[in-house]
Structure 1
């Protein structure tokens, strides 16, 4: 039975070593014990979803997980924990990225900047022109300029599951995931490699 997905807490990053001695970065996630408290169906609500009840910190929260093809395998009252990831090879991890505050165009959008040679006067880290001529006489919405960076919902896809510790409720995945330490994230089966999670 495929995993329905669940909330996790990011504990931090570590590394493991392969047989040839190379270092592999991994992220340790603590699976929060969840319980299905409600089910939504196409017949009654117009879509399929499961509503999870879990505790993060001192608060009791709810999370609705949609677009699940295996909802017929679950019912109200089922528990979701680390053992639910048995046989799962790849997962997607979603959460808010770390906020970077106000950032310039070079850092925010990876611009190269202007030439660092003679003739460029105090414009080395400039983003260049922003508009056109008298028409349209304004800057179009969505122009890549300076502004708030980070603190957005990000999904890391196709992360390999390295190890599952059912006793401690830990999930170790290869690579990095969004968010800072002890942040709340959500893990679901990989949507781009479903045939490997069957």
Structure 2
């Protein structure tokens, strides 16, 4: 995160996202796959660290299965012909002019006013109710002994003698798929493949995120 000045001279807090270029690995169609989507990959992965299936996903590899399918007259799917990727995701929607082997750059967001960002939030482990749900805790005066940060009573006495689902309690906090919707795009730097998004986004520095045009009106 950082801050920049807009045209009126106001300080705007932004998050800098390095977005692309992303290679198109596959194009899903309704006829073949039952739905329409574009599979894209980001950041090259060294071939020595990639498995054979990861290398065969992006480039043609000779194998007994491919030879037998070719001999049987089965048309093999097109390959992107690029390096294996570290981060692969599918974006639902029509592919348009995109095909395996083409690239998507930040210029696709040049006219986009706002985006949705999907990422994995920072994991905070097993947390108490005050940290996880912003509870106020117990009194710090008379009558409270060694339980100042407890969540207090949870209701439900003899009937129904149980707790209802969804009661806010201590538990796992963070490390979950999180979506921040309708974030304004402040600036697009096509030369350095950067997108400046207003405000903060989930996840740590250097984490992988998915940026797509928002569907909110």
TM tier relative to shorter chain: 0.7 to 0.9
CA spacing shift, 1:118–1:56, aligned 2, 3 Å: farther
More strand by share: 1
Partner of 1:196 in structure 2?
none
Rounded Cα–Cα distance in structure 2 between residues aligned with 1:147 and 1:171: 35
Rounded Cα–Cα distance in structure 1 between residues aligned with 2:131 and 2:98: 45
Partner of 1:8 in structure 2?
none
Partner of 1:171 in structure 2?
195
Return the structure number with greater relative CO, CA threshold 8 A, min gap 6. Answer: 1
Alignment RMSD (CA, Å): 2.2
**Gap runs ≥5 in structure 2:** 47-83
TM-score using structure 1 length: 0.79
Rounded Cα–Cα distance in structure 1 between residues aligned with 2:33 and 2:155: 47
Q: State the Cα distance separating 1:33 from its structure 2 match.
A: 1.9
2:156 corresponds to which of 109, 127, 132: 132
Residues 81-120 of structure 1 show CA distances to partners (whole Å, capped at 9, x for unaligned) of 1222111111111101111122110110111223333233
Partner of 1:62 in structure 2?
88
TM-score using structure 2 length: 0.73
Aligned residues: 179
- Structure with higher Rg: it is 2
Rounded Cα–Cα distance in structure 2 between residues aligned with 1:186 and 1:20: 30
**Gap runs ≥5 in structure 1:** 1-12, 194-198
| Paired residue secondary structure (1:43) | coil
